[in-house]
Structure 1
Amino acid sequence: MALLVVLGLTAALQAAASSGSIDEFINAEMPASGTPGLAYAVVEDGEITSGARGEVLRGSGDPVTPDTPFLIGSISKSITAMAVMQLVEAGQVDLDAPVSRYLEVFADRPSGAITIRQLLGHTSGYSTRQGNGAHTDQSGAEDALSQHVAQIAQWTPAHQPGTVWDYSNANYQILGAVIEAVSGEDYAGYVERRILAPIGMENSFVADGERHDGVARGHLPWFGTKRPVKDSRPNRVTAPAGGVIASADDLARYLAVMMNGQDDVISADSKADMLRPASGASPNYGFGWSLDAESGTVFHTGTSRGVETLALFVPAERKGAVVLVNAGSGFGFGETATLRTGLSATALGLDHDGDAGGWSRKSVFLMFALLPPFFVFCAVWAWLHRDRLRAKSGFSGLVSIWLPLPMMIALAWTALHLIPALFGISIGTLYLFLPDMALMMMATAATGLLWAVFRLGVFYSGRS
């Protein structure tokens, strides 16, 4: 979901920042987003201020606090990258060594020559769509991550390694398996012992496939409202790419460590390496962090089912902000991007101009909402005016009868394949994150095809 998770960030850092306070900004933007709960933290020179609004679960009465754990999604990639850098410093991992040196399942395969650096910088050749293929861990086994990575090893990368930047969760799942193989510990145990505990992230842990009380429940967009995710348990397979659970205050502590210029969980030099472009093919991405050279900011967004997050900091000024919301962004309606990016920009005094593309997305949403009933109406009209329809003759008549079918086939292909592919996902994956939009797209494809076929049936069934 790379395009969805960064939607609105660039537009959010353009014009003059609001002079209003954080509370005023939240009061203005939170209702429109439909977000049940929000937590934020701001860190400057190691000092943290934080706040929260709303509920852990809509209607529960349980308040969100700065210590409430949220599934932080792809911000987890930076923590995985930090773990890799620890192993690099220990001499156990070489950034430019092939992954096959550490994972035997990659030996003698097209993907075996991919380097650790290429995995960290998303230039391995694996595509966004390949990385979005697995969102659930059905087995629940302790070795589920290594089992899944063994499957990835059999894939052929979509691009030649080292040539193209293409954001892919597969890269960090592989890195998680490397951490396990080299350290001899499972990914969760290693990260909790070597990173979370030393930083003091007491309200944070790594996905283990179990449900934990107190964690903010995700809410998915549903035709202008938000519905709770029924099963919000994160799993072991997605943990290195998006399965760390952390509170706003804990993430602020993590950002403070990234900016302190000191040798602690990793050296200051390793921290600096993480915040540089990973390679020439990755000018805007370091090791687990997105880079904006123009504004001097470093950031990462996170998109999980019903939870969206943002961590943004300015290393040169040693200030940063974290925003966590327990609501998935709708498409055009109930979006959370302005809330997250605007709040962080307001907190850090950065430029912020909202999102100018909201109405275009609203128009697309409304189009897919209106097309299914429109096609049903057209089918009813064809039946009520069947005599006029059957009277068509000649070449022009046949064209008008048959033309809707290829048009509806093209529309169905666009709705079910082309549009999801633009986000690097399938229509099934889109349903996991935007169920209302996905249902309307599927309904549009189905009703459009049924109308075209029904119209042909009416035409030919009444002719001698």
Structure 2
Amino acid sequence: MRQFLFFLVILAGLYAPANARTAAIHAFAAESWEESGAPGAAYAVIEGDASKAEGFGVAQAGGELAVSPDTPFRIGSITKSFTALAIMQLAEAGALTIDDPVSDHLPEMRNNAARSITLRQLLSHTSGFSTIQGNALHDQSGELPPTLAALAASLGEQGTAYPPGTRWEYSNANYQILGAVIEAVSGSGYEDYVRNRIFAPLGLSSGTFAYTETPKGAAIGHRPWFGGHRAFDDHGDSRLNASAGGILMSARDLATYLAVMMNGQSDVLSAEGKARMLQPASEAAPFYGLGWFLDSATGSAFHGGLVPGSEALATMIPAQRKGVVVLVNTNGGIGFGESVDLREGVTAFALGREYSGSGSRWGPKTAYLSVMLLPPFFVLAIIWGWMRRREILAKRTNTAGLFSLWFPLAAMLALAFVLIAVIPQMFGGSIATILLYQPDFGAGMVAAAILAPVWALFRLVLAYLPSRPAPA
């Protein structure tokens, strides 16, 4: 069915009027949304100055509020392009240059290890801050820094993971610091600046920021929960992460924004400034501009968005003035309940690219099932051990038996370390990050990390408890 719809899109693009192509794209988007299991989604297709937007499903699972093209979604890291645009506006106003050291604008960073990092390096993720540093707010359960400037100072005191300018690594820390720069240079709060200098001039009426509550009518986020999705409307670090991932916007307004970025005109930014944002920022970032990922093979610029409960993808081909926006009010699961086909499939079909799907996804599915089966396995192993306690007691009498008693403890402690410390870093954060985005998978990891050494210790307790005399 998916390939047939793609054929219709291509055929409509070649021989049929625009409304036929639009209908074929909509049919594919509807099918992909149903297959994803997402409570709601919205998309928009941009061609020149025109755009077509649609919505599916509901703002919250079990609710009645329908998603429309004007429903605000959290767009996550697409926010970074707005932050980069704000920096470019200030550069064109003469308030800064993007090659300024950050310490020129943030006094809080003049005496720390990060003082020589340039704004260009922050914009292009070549500052040396790591992905893990950028996700550190997920780990802070206590008092958070009171302002963006204080957060920037804290990051500067930590220092970078790599020498600035030597490598590319995506990090929210870069854009958290840029938010502080915008506040310091403009004299207004980050949110006020973006509202007044970007949202208002472009008529992006749905654009807003969520801190303590989701705006009325906005899509509520959902997270994977054992094959399904469960509502999640907690904002945690949103204020401090506002400049890295805090914007809410509708598919229709985000399409308007992309159209402006591709119009070749001087409006909220000069035409030259827009073009500069969509060029490689440096030799260390050949595939990243200023707030945008770049694909030289297709001539496209794009950015994804991922926050707890929501995912988004915005893509544009400036030379053709074509673009696509896809917004989803859930995080995809690991192998199950994923939304990758919805986001990437709709994008590919709308831009006339072939898309064969994400495949069977047996790798992620196997990883998910392997972790989720560990806790019941160890519970059963504990029960089995109790039933065979006399055999376990007998293991104390020989070398091989002692090894079989003590080695599992070391092995299970190592497994717990891998589950709690190693695997989360592969996802770019800590176990708190996993629990935030994938609560079911994270709960399985924590449960397995606890039960694994408990099982090994239980066997040792059975082996070394004083044996009771057999009844007469």
Partner of 2:355: 352
What is the one-letter code of the residue matched to 1:163?
A: T
Aligned pair 1:335/2:338, yes or no?
yes
1:305 is displaced (CA, Å) by 1.1
Q: Which runs of 5+ in 1 are unaligned?
A: 1-15
Match of 1:37 among 17, 23, 40: 40
Structure 2 match to 1:438: 442
Match of 2:416 in 1: 412
CA separation of 1:439 and 1:91: change in aligned 2, threshold 3 A: same
Describe the shift of the 1:96–1:254 C-alpha distance in structure 2 as closer, same or farther (beyond 3 A): same
| Residue 291 of structure 1, aligned match among 290, 294, 316 | 294
What's the counterpart of residue 183 of structure 2?
180
Percent identity at matched positions? 48
Q: How many residues align?
A: 448
**In the alignment, structure 1 residue 28 sits paired with structure 2 residue 68:** no
- Which one-letter code corresponds to 2:117 in the other structure? I
Cα-to-partner distance string for 1:369-426 (whole Å, 9 max, x where unaligned) = 1111111111111111111222223222221111211111121111111111011100
Give the greater-gyration-radius structure (CA).
2
Give distance in 1, aligned partners of 2:34 and 2:464: 53
* Counterpart for residue 8 of structure 1: none
Pairing partner for 1:107 from 105, 110, 131: 110
Output the CA distance in 2 between the equivalents of 1:232 and 1:343: 28
Task: Indicate which of 141, 163, 167 corresponds to 1:164.
Answer: 167
**Structure 1 runs, 4 residues or longer, greater than 4 Å off:** 135-141
Pick 1 or 2: higher relative contact order, CA cutoff 8 A, min separation 6. 1
Q: 1:384 to 1:100 in 2, by over 3 A?
A: same
Letter paired with 1:319? K
**For 1:317, what is the secondary structure of its paired residue?**
coil
SS in 2 for 1:35: coil
Aligned counterpart, 2:16 = none
**Residue 455 of structure 1 aligns with which residue?**
459
Aligned to 2:182, the other structure's residue is in SS state helix
The structure 2 residue matched to 1:400, chosen from 401, 404, 408, is 404
Deviation at 1:232, TM superposition (A): 4.5
- 3-state SS of 2:311 partner: strand
1:120 aligns with 2:123: yes
1:425 aligns with 2:429: yes
1:261 positional shift: 0.9
Q: How many Å separate the matches in 1 of 2:179 and 2:331? A: 26
**C-alpha distance in structure 1 between counterparts of 2:369 and 2:237, whole Å:** 32
**In the alignment, which of 195, 199, 204 is matched to residue 201 of structure 1?**
204
Q: Pairwise CA RMSD of aligned residues?
A: 1.9
1:26 partner letter: A
CA distance in 2, matches of 1:68, 1:224: 26
Q: Where in structure 2 are the equivalents of 1:34-433 lying within 5 Å? A: 34-135=37-138, 144-232=147-235, 235-356=238-359, 358-392=361-395, 393-433=397-437
Deviations 1:30-83 (A, max 9, x none): 233220111111101111111010011112211111011111100000000000
Q: How far 1:151 sits from its partner (Å)?
A: 1.8
* TM-score normalised by length of structure 1: 0.93
Shift of 1:96: 1.1
Is the 2:326–2:346 contact (alpha carbons within 8 Å) kept by the matching residues of 1?
A: yes
Deviation, structure 1 residue 353: 2.0
Equivalent AA in structure 2 for residue 268 of structure 1 = A
Q: CA deviation at 1:137?
A: 10
Q: In structure 2, give the amino acid aligned to 1:167.
A: Y
Q: Structure 1 residues 150-159 or 251-260, which shifts more?
A: 150-159
Q: Structure 2 vs 1, CA of residues 139 and 375 (structure 1 numbering), >3 Å: closer, same or farther?
A: closer
Report the CA distance shift for 1:160/1:299 in structure 2 as closer, same or farther (over 3 A): same
Once the two structures are TM-superposed, the CA of residue 228 in structure 1 deviates from its matched residue by: 0.7
